[in-house]
Amino acid sequence: MSAPVRKSEQSENDLGSFASFAVSRPVLDEGALIGLPGEVVRAIEPHTEADPVALLLHFLVMFGSAIGDGPHLRIGYTWHPARLFALIVGDAAIGRKGTAGDAIERLMELAVPDWYEHLLMRGAQSAEAIIAHVDDNADDSRLLILETEFGRLLSTMARRGNLSSTLKSAFDGKPLAAETKRAQTSLRATRAHIAVIGHITPAELAERLSDTDVSSGFASRFLYAVVVRSKRLPGGDGLDDDAVDKLATKIRDIVERTREIALGMTDPISAALHDHFGTMPRVELAMTSAFRWRWEQLYAGPLDEHLPGAAGIVTDRAAAHVLRLAVTYALADETTPMRVDVEHLDAAYAVWRYCVESAQQIFGGVTGSSDADRVLRELQRVSGHKLSRSDVWSIFGRHASKAKISLVVEQLLDTGLVERRVERTDGRSREVYVLREGANKANEMEHTK
């Protein structure tokens, strides 16, 4: 991988005041920053504290939502449009998740105002509310769910079982249906194009994402991205209006051009109907021979490998995510209208690698437990690489039960990377946990694979 995408002279690492969760943040390959997505990130990144990865994923999800499900890749009997679900994971104080969302929102509001005004849902209350937005009687089948408190959505899902199944079907592009009790009517959406962006802290994700959510396939429909603040801008900053307008105009032109080309690829009667109702015809993207060759390599190689434990379960839809990312990159490329090429696939794979490493960190990359990994990262960071039981408790906000702390400690000890010691104090002796010699280097290697 290339150097981290960090361009500020004073990075968060230099400041030494960030949470342990950010210590092992993955590194985004520069190959992910191609075309319009790269141009957007590079233009905005110097003027915001947001992580460039958060900027990139917000743009990819929002752009794909605005395009719609018309243009797609077809692999076998499955269609892969630019439909993405992404979860931005960062500590509350330094994640700057909302900062990234605000920057890209402003850009998309200028570029596609109708989409922004009518097709952006801030928080999903129920399956019925979601389906009502994209019902077959609605004016538009597109919808972006922006859930800045994703933990609230997970709590709602625990009470309303049909919300999880609705979102899973939405990701898959399956028909959605629900009964409304008040109006005694049925809602049905046969061609919904729903995208999701969620923001959450690692602690909240660990607490609220249930084993059922993981094992049922709900969790694997999301891309996971660990993010941190990229720099400090105490006086505030912002991209100048002219630069924002130029980017917005470019986005608007690409969205409109995509629609025009799609209409031109459709028979005249269908094109007239789509034009009248404001819908996007379904058209298949062409694949270059270089794309096909590279896809066969990835499909039989890296995309067929699975991580152990929960991290492997939540990343087991590799092919679908990479294809959808590639479609999104291709549609954002002015030079290759309605064609997906190898550079789009390589960019998609670069994003996927980052998300896999993020999932490893979130759901357990070294120890098999995200909680134990969290303590291991803190042991890696602190002076002397030593923590007391009270220190471990403090990592979890001093809210974790004794049973949980005992379990985390045993998981750490089972790895062989940490040893238990007893220290004598003026009063009674205390138990401490020390990183073994060489374990620090082993942990660093694990996160640079």
- Other CB atoms within a 10 A radius of the CB of residue 300 amount to 9
What is the structure's pLDDT at 10?
Answer: 32
Q: What is the DSSP letter of 77?
A: T
pLDDT > 60? residue 93: no
What's the fold here for domain 370-446?
Arc Repressor Mutant, subunit A (1.10.10)
Q: Residue 7: pLDDT band by 50, 70, 90 thresholds?
A: very low
pLDDT at 17 over 90: no
pLDDT band at 134 (very low <50, low <70, confident <90, very high): very high
Q: Is the dihedral of CA 155, 157, 158, 164 positive or negative?
A: negative
Domain with CATH 3.40.50 in the chain: 12-363
How far, in Å, CA of 227 to CA of 44, rounded? 16
Tell me yes or no: is domain 12-363 CATH 3.30.420.
Answer: no
Domain with CATH 1.10.10.10 in the chain: 370-446
More confident residue, 209 or 292: 292
| Cβ atoms within 10 Å, residue 3 | 10
User: What confidence score (pLDDT) does residue 2 get?
Assistant: 33
pLDDT of residue 365: 61
- Whether the CA torsion 42, 46, 48, 54 is positive or negative: it is positive
288, amino acid identity: T
Determine the 3-state secondary structure of 70 from DSSP.
coil
Q: What percent of the chain has pLDDT over 70?
A: 86
How sure is the predictor about 366, in pLDDT bands with cuts at 50, 70 and 90? low
Looking at residue 58, its pLDDT comes to 96
Q: What is the pLDDT of residue 95?
A: 52
Q: Cα separation of 313 and 229, whole Å?
A: 28
| Residue 8 in this model has a pLDDT that exceeds 70 | no
- With residue 37 as reference, give the H or E element that holds it: helix 35-44
> Quick check: 15 pLDDT over 50?
no
Residue 39 has pLDDT above 70, yes or no: yes
| pLDDT tens by residue, 227-243 | 988 777 766 667 788 99
> Residues 150-197: pLDDT tens digits?
989 998 888 877 899 999 999 999 999 987 666 567 889 998 999 999
3-class secondary structure, 232: coil
Alpha-carbon span 155 to 166, nearest angstrom: 15
Confidence of residue 20 (pLDDT cuts 50, 70, 90): very low
Q: Could you tell me how far CA 394 lies from the centroid of its own chain?
A: 28
CA trace torsion 328, 332, 337, 339 (10° rounding): -30
Tell me the average pLDDT across 40-49: 91
C-alpha span between 118 and 134 (Å, rounded)? 11
Average pLDDT over residues 421-440: 80
Question: Measured between alpha carbons, how far is 4 from 33 in angstroms, rounded to an integer?
Answer: 12
The tokens describing 213, both together, are 């959510």
Angle (CA) 136 137 138, round 5°: 90
pLDDT of residue 98: 61
Please tell me the distance from the alpha carbon of residue 141 to that of residue 122, in angstroms, as a whole number. 17
Residues 77 and 67: their CA atoms lie apart, in Å, by 22
β 142-147/120-121 pair status:
parallel
HSE, side-chain direction, 13 A CA sphere, residue 101: 22
- Helix extents (H) in 278-415: 289-300, 309-314, 318-331, 342-363, 370-381, 389-395, 402-415
| pLDDT mean across residues, the chain | 84
Strands 85-89 vs 120-121: parallel, antiparallel or unpaired: unpaired
Query: Which uninterrupted H or E stretch holds 144?
Result: strand 142-147
Residue 94 backbone phi and psi in degrees, to 5: -125, 5
First to last CA, the chain: 9
Written as six digits, the tokens of 119 are 């097709």
